[in-house]
Chain A
Amino acid sequence: MELGGLKTIAQLRVMQPAHSRSGQPGCGSNSASGQSSCGSAAGQGDLTPEIWEKVKNHPCYSEQAHHHYARMHAAVAPACNIQCNFCNRKYDCSNESRPGVVSERLTPEQAAKKVLAVASAVPQMTVLGIAGPGDPLANPEKTFKTFELVARTAPDIKLCLSTNGLMLPDYVDRIHALNVDHVTITINMIDPVVGAKIYPWVFYNHKRYTGVEGARILSERQLLGLEMLTARGILCKVNSVMIPGINDRHLVAVNKAVKSRGAFLHNIMPLISAPEHGTVFGLAGQRGPTAQELKALQDSCEGEMKMMRHCRQCRADAVGLLGEDRSAEFTAEKIMSMDVVYDLDRRQAFQEKVELQREAAAAAMKSELETLAGKHSNISILIAVATKGGGRINEHFGHAKEFQVYEVGTAGAKFVGHRRVDLYCQGGYAEEDSLETVVRAINDCVAVFVARIGGCPRDGLIAAGIEPVDRFALEYIEQSAITYFREYLERVRTGEIRHTQRGDADIRQGALTA
């Protein structure tokens, strides 16, 4: 049915390619090679002041910011101009959370109203992204109209878009003129032979091109678009979907190619390919990577440039902190009846408080790190953390929909990823034992930090060799991780525990309930 020009999921049933996934760039994590930095608690790190100014409040471009700031996607772009084997445009599970899925699409006017409504209710929302559910540049008028409206009514909101890049060279000047200063391009290959295995066709200049020919056009346009954007000083993130056996090794070459063209950040994401999604890859049994395979590829690229590891591959209509989705509070029907007052002062006051929290967390991490000064060890461990945001351990084990994973060594603590643990949506029934799901998702971690935990899961985790830790409840994550690590080293030294390598862990593949 029609709701003032907008469609419900029953009609829409649209989903889209991984590229439009939300993922925006993030300045990723701190690197062992000393390359990156904005992932560190110190914040700015080795970024220039100009770039730091652009990313510091952008949850998708800054790992550190994503603990504190929220984003929203406006689903104004349903059409797409390419076909990807990891995408199924027919899928219609409204509970599913992955790129390209939306519950309703909006007109530019509705989207602009939604931005105001969300910005008023969620003062930490700093970014509007247009990421689908198709490709924003296959819907240029709707996309740019939305940006124009928002720039007028909510000038403090950052604008960004995520595209497959096919039409990018044609719109770089318009993107620049509208002050869209963050653009994400999904680049899964630079070799058309690899591309032919990922993209069955592209629609370009009024013609459908298939196979290697289509992939070559796409690749040339993507790289040209990237060069044109960076030449204009627009911050670019590159998203890549890691598809084992198809482009996993090739992504190292992609990483070099995009770095040399000025990309700021590289976000390598795991393929999502559950058979029930009905994608070509899903139906063919193409698997996604394991958590350690993904981390190994990200680590190997990190010497080259910043890697993003906090992407949640979210829906094209997601609202809220990364990892949460409040879109159900802001359906078109609800926002049209809301009386919205845009209070810039209130937003700024709130954000000033957030900045104070960030500084306090960074200071706590720094002083704790000093307790490791002079200690050198080859041991590093992974710790899973239940958090609701704000950089603190503030979530109950049983309520966590995801765990953030930190790698800790004598060099400090760094965010290296996240693991979704919410239940599969399979015909509406959660069929798995939830503790087993969690154990499989964080099996490579030594400990899990929680605000609280019940007796039953506590015993189950201990049996699985993962130490449940609730004594840092409500404390800062990185500071607590370093404290734990210092004590861990001491326990290893005294022989109380033996340090062994943990195994691998699963990346959730199923459709997710929000």
Chain B
Amino acid sequence: MAMMIKETRCVGCSACINECPNDAISEQSFAFAIDPAKCTECIGFFSEPQCAAICPIPKTCIINPDVPRYAAAV
């Protein structure tokens, strides 16, 4: 799995991009987005996904259900 950002909820504040240890977040035209190939849910870095921990809007940075589980998490 990886994290994802719900585009309709993102306010574009950019807080997540500064915290991502994998450089997986980029600015898209209407919101920020996470590259699932780069995201590790912060496993191996921190105790919780940093994007979700700093995001000001609840339920915006969530687990991406469409992506296979990150290998190290299994």
Contacts and interface: CB of A to CB of B under 8 A. Distances in A.
B54 A81 contact: yes
A179 interface: no
Q: What DSSP secondary structure best describes chain A's contact surface?
A: loop
Contact of A13 (B11, B19, B46): B11
A83 B56 contact: yes
Contacts of A133: 13
A207 B48 contact: yes
Contacts of A78: 12-15
Contact of A208 (B12, B30, B54, B57): B54
Interface string B25-44: 00001110000000000000
Interface in A8-45: 11-14
Interface string A131-165: 00110001100000000000000000000000000
A78 B11 CA distance: 10
A7 interface: yes
A37 to B, nearest CB: 40
Given A80-B13, A206-B53, A139 B18 contact: yes
A207 B29 CA distance: 29
Given A2-B29, A11-B30, A12-B12, A79 B18 contact: yes
A1 interface: yes
A256 interface: no
A1 B28 CA distance: 10
Q: What DSSP secondary structure best describes chain B's contact surface?
A: loop
B11 A90 contact: yes
A139 B13 CA distance: 10
Contact of B12 (A14, A138, A203): A14
Contacts of B31: 11
With most chain B CB atoms within 10 A of its CB, the pick from A1, A12, A139, A203 is A203
Nearest to A203: B54
B13 A14 contact: yes
Contacts of B30: 11
A14 B11 CA distance: 6
A89 interface: yes
A138 B50 CA distance: 14
A472 B63 CA distance: 66
Contacts of B56: 80, 83, 89
B15 A81 contact: yes
B50 A206 contact: yes
A79 B13 contact: yes
Contacts of B57: 89-90
Contacts of B45: 206
A138 B16 CA distance: 11
B65 to A, nearest CB: 23
Contacts of A2: 29
B14 A79 contact: yes
Nearest to A84: B56
A11 B7 CA distance: 10
Interface in B47-73: 47-48, 50, 53-54, 56-57
A330 B31 CA distance: 25
B1 to A, nearest CB: 20
B48 A89 contact: no
A81 to B, nearest CB: 6
B12 A207 contact: no
A12 B31 CA distance: 9
Interface in A188-207: 203, 206-207
A89 B50 contact: no
Contact of A89 (B13, B19, B29, B53): B13
Contacts of B12: 7, 11-14, 78
Contacts of B47: 206-207
Given A2-B29, A89-B57, A203-B54, A208 B48 contact: yes
B13 to A, nearest CB: 5
B15 A80 contact: yes
B51 to A, nearest CB: 11
Nearest to B46: A206
Nearest to A89: B56
A208 B47 CA distance: 10
B7 to A, nearest CB: 11
A14 B14 CA distance: 10
Interface in A38-96: 78-81, 83, 89-90
B19 A12 contact: no
B48 A12 contact: no
Interface in B1-26: 11-15, 18-19
Contacts of B48: 207-208
Nearest to B9: A90
B57 to A, nearest CB: 6
A79 B15 contact: yes
With most chain A CB atoms within 10 A of its CB, the pick from B11, B14, B56, B57 is B56
Given A14-B11, A81-B15, 5 more contacts: A1-B29, A81-B54, A83-B56, A139-B18, A208-B48
Interface of B: 11-15, 18-19, 29-31, 45-48, 50, 53-54, 56-57
5 tightest Cβ-Cβ pairs between the two chains A and B: A79-B15, A208-B53, A89-B56, A203-B54, A206-B46
11 contacts: A2-B29, A78-B14, A78-B15, A80-B13, A89-B56, A133-B13, A134-B15, A138-B15, A139-B18, A206-B19, A206-B50
